Copies of this chain bind each other. A is one copy, B any other.
Amino acid sequence: MLVSSNLRELYPDGVFPAACHSRVLLDHVMSKWGVLVLLALSEGEPLRWSELRRRAQGVSEKMLAQTLRTLADDGPVLRDARPVVPPHVEYSLTEPGAELAAHLVPLMQWIAGHAGDNPTS
């Protein structure tokens, strides 16, 4: 069963390099908190920092701020900060971020279904 014959367009000699720019983006996206942030934002609503903190269970302020900064720098996440006090910052997926999530969510759903998780319990 060939599931990836068109990988050959990207890697014609069948050798996959470990170190490349893809790896940097992949590692940010699949980082411990990155994937949870992207999943939360993939539901479509812009979310504020504090809401994301509630949604990514167990994340520290430091890791959330760092992760959001990284993802915004990488491109999948848009950071919309209003010039007000107290701060009011909203995060949402960019267009490329939504395309990314469209691939990421089915993967996570598959993994959740095969890892013996019972998240609805």
Q: Which residues of A45-68 are within 8 A (CB) of B?
A: 54-59
Q: Given the known A-B contacts A15-B54, A30-B30, A36-B18, are A114 and B96 also in contact in the complex, defined by CB atoms under 8 Å?
A: yes
Q: Report the minimal beta-carbon distance from A115 to chain B, rounded to whole angstroms.
A: 4
Q: Report the minimal beta-carbon distance from A72 to chain B, rounded to whole angstroms.
A: 15
Copies assembled: 2
Q: Report the minimal beta-carbon distance from A7 to chain B, rounded to whole angstroms.
A: 6
User: Which of B16, B103, B111 is A106 in contact with, Cβ under 8 Å?
Assistant: B103
Q: Could you mark each residue 73-105 of chain A with 1 if its beta carbon is under 8 Å from any beta carbon of chain B, else 0?
A: 001000000000000000000001011111111
Query: Can you sample 17 A-B contacts with CB below 8 Å?
Result: A8-B43, A9-B120, A14-B55, A15-B57, A17-B119, A18-B36, A18-B56, A18-B58, A18-B59, A20-B115, A21-B115, A22-B112, A23-B32, A26-B108, A26-B115, A100-B111, A103-B110
